[in-house]
Structure 1
Amino acid sequence: MASNSDHDIVLFVKAGSDRECLGCCPFSQRLFMVLWLKGTQFNVTTVDKTTKPKELADIAPGTNPPFVLFDGEVLTDIPRIEEFLESTLSPPKYPSLSPVHPESYLAGNDLFAKFSAWIKCKPDQPNQETLMKRYVLELAKLDAFLKTSLDASQESRLFLDGDRMTLADCNILPKLQVALVAGKKLHDFDLPDAFDGIASYVKNAKACDEFRQTCPDDEEIAWYYGGPKPKPTKRV
């Protein structure tokens, strides 16, 4: 993480199975990525909701992670936090993370809802196949978007909006990671070969510390959706 230290920033994220490691929470990872991409110095604290420390309850009573303590001010509501960080940590010192193309914000916007409905449905339930098809349809839409040119001067791109990560990627990548990992571990679901746009997108993201280092362990994701309790290794 960068060394800019104009502000005192603490990000509180959901803790995992051992109450210390990174938990399965795409919304926590979303803010983790935003702050890392901004290049500002910040601290990360994992919070177990069942054993929330008294001092934390005093700081943000009734608030569950993720949330941000910014120069002593408690910030909740993820879209508002992003808006605040984008306006406060702004150019020229900090990079803008806003997409150039507005349609990038909408890419994959229904994917996580369709995935959640499918993954929570037991295999023997009659609507399981229908829910899976709806999830696959959303994957197909995202794959098509990634293969669609947004700029006449650029035939392909690394991320949703171009060759740099933006707020749109911070939103969809954590959800996509959860969906792909949980789908494989719980239902042996592999990303179809035809969705090579998504495969390349995830590969590009995993080459970046801002995404790779903020991901929970795969076992934490599986455990959240009913898999065996893991032996955590990733801590912050």
Structure 2
Amino acid sequence: MHIHTYIHAYTYTHTHTHTFSVKTVNEAKPPAEFREAGLRHAPALQHGNDLILSHQDEIIDYIDRKFPIPSLKCECSAASDATANLFRSFAFYIKEVNTDPKALDMELIRLDRYFNDINTSFLAANHLTHLDFYILPKLHTIRIALSALKGYEIPTSLYNLWGYMKRGYAMESFRKSCPSDQEIILYWAERPDTPNLTSQKRSQLYRQKTTYSWDIPTDAQNGKIKENS
């Protein structure tokens, strides 16, 4: 899932007077125009008639060079340190390398404390940066996938972390790029190294109305969410 690439592109083009279109592709049965461009995997970027990029890092680097102002690079080492082990701890837990969520809990607490100590809306600034493009989708994945597959819930006592997620959920770039709850759950359930779903549960997901969990738990609010401006 390459959500952060889309958020990156969407944020830049909506900061400038540019537009772009997004087309979803079934890689097993790609459309003719996708094949004719010599592409096999998503994400991919086509700009004009001549430029086609098919590697995520190349896409991000091209967008950065094409739209250098405002810079969305993250140059905050404290933010990088606070998020360095988050996805690893999630991956170890969902893949059951660790059966105890303690390591994940500690990384979420670490991030919550970081947000308590800063005065910006996002990780390194009052606007989204590269690091937010990566971390916001990861936090949302932790919330949705672990709840469905492991019965794990992000503690509602982490008010600062939930405040960050609330601000992220409010961003149009996030909402436009975010997969449905069902897509996230099925993506992780279909991996060979993660807990599987029963056939009944899988069938229910396919039949359900598409949902997007962008709400904040009541217990995480109670007037205690730190609203950085």
TM-score interval, normalised by the smaller of the two chains:
0.7 to 0.9
* Residue of structure 2 aligned with 1:134, choices 97, 103, 106: 103
Cα distance in 2 between the residues matched to 1:60 and 1:118: 37
* Residue of structure 1 aligned with 2:83, choices 84, 108, 127: 108
Local SS of the residue matching 1:46 = coil
Q: Structure 1 counterpart of 2:165, which letter?
A: V
4+ residue segments displaced more than 6 Å: none
Partner of 1:98: 73
TM-aligned CA deviation for residue 100 of structure 1: 4.8
Which structure has more relative contact order (CA 8 Å, sep 6+)? It is 1
Partner of 1:21: none
Q: Does structure 2 conserve the Cα–Cα contact (< 8 Å) formed by 1:31 and 1:82?
A: yes
Cα distance in 2 between the residues matched to 1:41 and 1:70: 11
Q: Structure 2 counterpart of 1:208, which letter?
A: M
Cα distance in 2 between the residues matched to 1:205 and 1:36: 14
- List alignment gaps of at least 5 residues for structure 2: 190-196, 212-229
C-alpha offsets along residues 17-62 of structure 1, whole Å, 9 cap, x if unaligned?
Answer: xxxxxxxx1x2x111111111113111011112112343123134x
2:19 maps to 1:41: yes
- Structure with greater helix percent: 2
2:121 maps to 1:158: yes
The CA RMSD over aligned residues, in Å, is: 2.2
Using structure 2 for the length normalisation, give the TM-score.
0.74
Partner of 2:45: 68
- List alignment gaps of at least 5 residues for structure 1: 1-24, 150-155
Q: Determine what percentage of the aligned residue pairs are the same residue.
A: 25
Q: Structure 2 counterpart of 1:34, which letter?
A: H
Cα distance in 2 between the residues matched to 1:86 and 1:106: 23
Cα distance in 2 between the residues matched to 1:192 and 1:75: 40
Partner of 1:143: 112
Partner of 1:8: none
Per mean C-alpha deviation after superposition, the further-off stretch among 159-168 and 52-61 is: 52-61
